[in-house]
A and B are shown apart, each in its own frame.
Chain A
Amino acid sequence: MANPIVYTLSTCPTCDDLRTDWQAKRIQFEERQVDKRQAWLDEALVHADTVPIILHSDGKVEVGFEGELG
C-alpha cells in the first residue's frame, strides 16, 4: 500500500505537530509543502483551502490534524 500524501505549509504549526507525531510513531508519508511548488498547491486546493490535508492511499481525504487546522 502506498504511503499517504500530506499537504503542508512550511510555516504551519499544526503541520509541524503532525510531522513530529507521525515521525515519532514511524508512520511513513510523503510530504508536499504547498508553498514550495505550484503543482502541489493546485493538488491541495482540489481538496481544501487549508492545511494539513492528508490524502490516504485509498483516496480518502482528511483535512486537519487532531481537530486543528493550519
Chain B
Amino acid sequence: MVTKESVVTPQRFTTGMTYKEFIAQINVNKDRFEQYYESGKPSAEDVAYFKRAMQSPNGPAKMLAIAEDWCPDVYRGLPVVARLAEATGLELRVFPRDKHLDIMNEFLKEGQFQSVPTIVFYTKDHRYIGHFIERPAFANTDRAAIEAQVRKEMPGAEDQAIRAEVRTRTTARYPMWQDETVKEMRELIAGKTGIR
C-alpha cells in the first residue's frame, strides 16, 4: 500500500459517515450494535495512551472504518472503536465496504480477503500510520481453545451441536474481545510510531 496513491484523500475521508450516521442507515443488527456499544468501554489506561499519542504530529488523529452491518466482527468491534473515538477525540469515519470497494482493496487481509471491520489510522495531516483487520489475535486463539474444550466435553457430538456450543461460549467472551481490540490497536500504534 502506498499512501501517495491512496484513494483515501483527505477530502474523501471527510465523506465517510460518523458512527451515528452509520447506525442510522444499517439494515440489520441494530440491537447488537447497541449491546456491544454498552459493553465496549476502553480502559482508562488505553484512553490515556491514545490521548498521549495524539499529541505527537506522528500520532493518530483520524480513524477510517470499513464495515458492514451483518458481520459479527463489525457489530462487536466497531462500537468499541466508536467509544474510543468519543473518549479520545479521534475522528472516526465509516465507509460501508460494498459501496467503497476501492478503499477496501487497499487494505485486503493477506492481500486477498475483504475482511471487515478494517480500521485505518492516519495522522492529523493524513499520513497513513497502520491498520487493524477484523479481530484481535487473542480472539482467534481464544476461539480455538474454546472449540478444543467443547470437543473434549462433547465427544461424538455432531458438528452443528459443537458449533452452537462454541458460539454460545464465544459470544459470552465478546466484551473481553472488545478490550483486546483496543489493546491490539494500541500496540499497533506504538509499534508504528514508537510512542509508548
Contacts and interface: CB of A to CB of B under 8 A. Distances in A.
Interface residues of A, number: 16
A60 B192 CA distance: 47
Interface stretch (B64-72, B86-94, B122-130, B180-188): B64-72
B28 A41 contact: yes
Contacts of A34: 28, 70
B172 interface: no
Chain B interface size, under 10 / 10 to 19 / 20 to 34 / 35 or more: 10 to 19
B14 interface: no
Interface in A6-46: 9, 11, 34-38, 41, 45-46
Interface in B8-24: none
A9 B71 CA distance: 10
Interface string B77-114: 00000000000000000000010000000000000000
B173 interface: no
Contacts of B29: 38, 41
B167 A35 contact: no
**Interface-centre pick from A11, A35, A48 (highest chain B CB count, 10 A):** A35
A47 B28 contact: no
A38 B28 contact: yes
A37 B167 CA distance: 21
Contacts of B160: 47, 60-61
A35 B98 CA distance: 12
B27 interface: yes
Contact of B167 (A36, A49, A61): A49
Contacts of B163: 47-48, 61, 63
Nearest to A39: B28
B164 A35 contact: no
B164 A36 contact: no
Contacts of A11: 98
A35 B72 contact: no
22 contacts: A11-B98, A34-B28, A35-B28, A35-B68, A35-B69, A35-B70, A36-B27, A41-B28, A41-B29, A45-B72, A45-B167, A46-B164, A46-B167, A47-B160, A47-B164, A48-B167, A49-B72, A49-B167, A60-B160, A61-B159, A61-B160, A63-B163
